Amino acid sequence: MVLRLALLGMGAVGRGIIQAALEKDLGLIITAVADSRSGCIDPNGLNLPELLDRKDKTGMCGDTGISAETIVKTAPYDILVEMTPTDARSGEPATSYIRDALQRGSHVVTSNKGPVALHYHELASLAKKNHLQFRFEATVAGAIPILQTLIHNLGGNEILSLYGVLNGTCNYILTRMAEEGLTYKQALDEARTLGYAEADPTYDVKGIDAAIKLVILANTVWKKNICLDDVDVTGIDLLTEEALRLAEQQDATIRLIGEIIPGDNIYRLCPRIIPKDHPLVVQGSLNAIIVRTDLAGDLLFVGKGAGSRETASAVIGDILSIRDIHAGGN
């Protein structure tokens, strides 16, 4: 069975999907793509090298007369792959695209944290009612398959707690401050130059991005019903070089740690002093997560939390698992 995908967003993640579809035989075709200003549709599958070339040369993937909304509502596709920018406060326009696709009878995979953090329960029940899949592995920890692992592979466990480094930009800044004695501003500027931090890094350094991931984990793994305001958040923007130096003197360092203890309703994100040999002291832009379970014991996950190919890996995993479920395979 050849799956037909409609892609919304042709930025880092969208391009990662297109590149992977060109490099590997994934058994899928891309029948529609939209970016912020244009769109293109071909029921037989778009010519992907031409698509990449057009986007590079014109900044647009297609015609200005074709919008994302047109694609969601009229293009032929089996799975909507939603990869537009995250809006943590409204979740729009992504939530409307997802809702429309599910109402139309299509599965949805998204890498966008906004709709999942704000509307998971509504969207999951709409999908269930229509016998469809709604998947979002890429929204937490990029390439690390944490959501499927916790929800399915560890399904027989009580998951007692989760601790993690969930924002690669903050981890990069903290690593560089500790290793090279850079100031916060120098490390942030370096992260921007290397493309780890956005021009406006507020979401990352104030802890909002990592806190959204805690909301997604709490609501999807533990079926809680929390929102961003329920997370106790302290970012790294006020952290001083002095604090890092003091930690160094105790053979420790500082990491921005997210924490969920579901039994006590604790959802917290704050910089923590931890021994340098602790497994959560990962370097650079890596993510790391420890989960504590009753049957499986403690598990540690480390990997790239962002990046075009790494995030595409998580999105493609979701796409292929939908194919397997609907082909009656495993």
Ligand X SMILES: NC(=O)c1ccc[n+]([C@@H]2O[C@H](COP(=O)([O-])OP(=O)(O)OC[C@H]3O[C@@H](n4cnc5c(N)ncnc54)[C@H](OP(=O)(O)O)[C@@H]3O)[C@@H](O)[C@H]2O)c1
Name the residues that contact ligand X, by CB under 6 A: 8-14, 34-37, 68, 83-86, 93, 111-113, 138, 142, 306-307, 311
> In whole angstroms, how close is the CB of 59 to ligand X at the nearest point?
7
> In whole angstroms, how close is the CB of 111 to ligand X at the nearest point?
4
Smaller CB separation from ligand X, 39 or 271: 39
Please state, in angstroms and as integers, the Cα–Cα distance from residue 277 to each residue in 125, 128, 250, 274, 286, following that order: 43, 44, 12, 8, 16
> In whole angstroms, how close is the CB of 253 to ligand X at the nearest point?
25
Among the options 55, 113, 213, 304, which is catalytic?
213
Whether the bond into 93 is cis, omega within 30 of 0: yes
Smaller CB separation from ligand X, 36 or 186: 36
CA-wise closest residue to 63 among 94, 29, 33, 18? 33
**Residue 156: how many other CB atoms lie within 10 Å:** 9
Amino acid letter at 40?
C
Smaller CB separation from ligand X, 155 or 195: 195
How far apart CA 221 and CA 151 sit, in angstroms, is 6
> In whole angstroms, how close is the CB of 12 to ligand X at the nearest point?
4
Q: CB–CB of 173/189 below 8 Å?
A: no
Smaller CB separation from ligand X, 142 or 258: 142
Decide if 304 is catalytic: no
Categorise residue 85: left if φ over 0, alpha if ψ from -120 to 50, beta otherwise.
beta
| Closest residue to ligand X using C-beta atoms | 11
Residues annotated as catalytic are 213
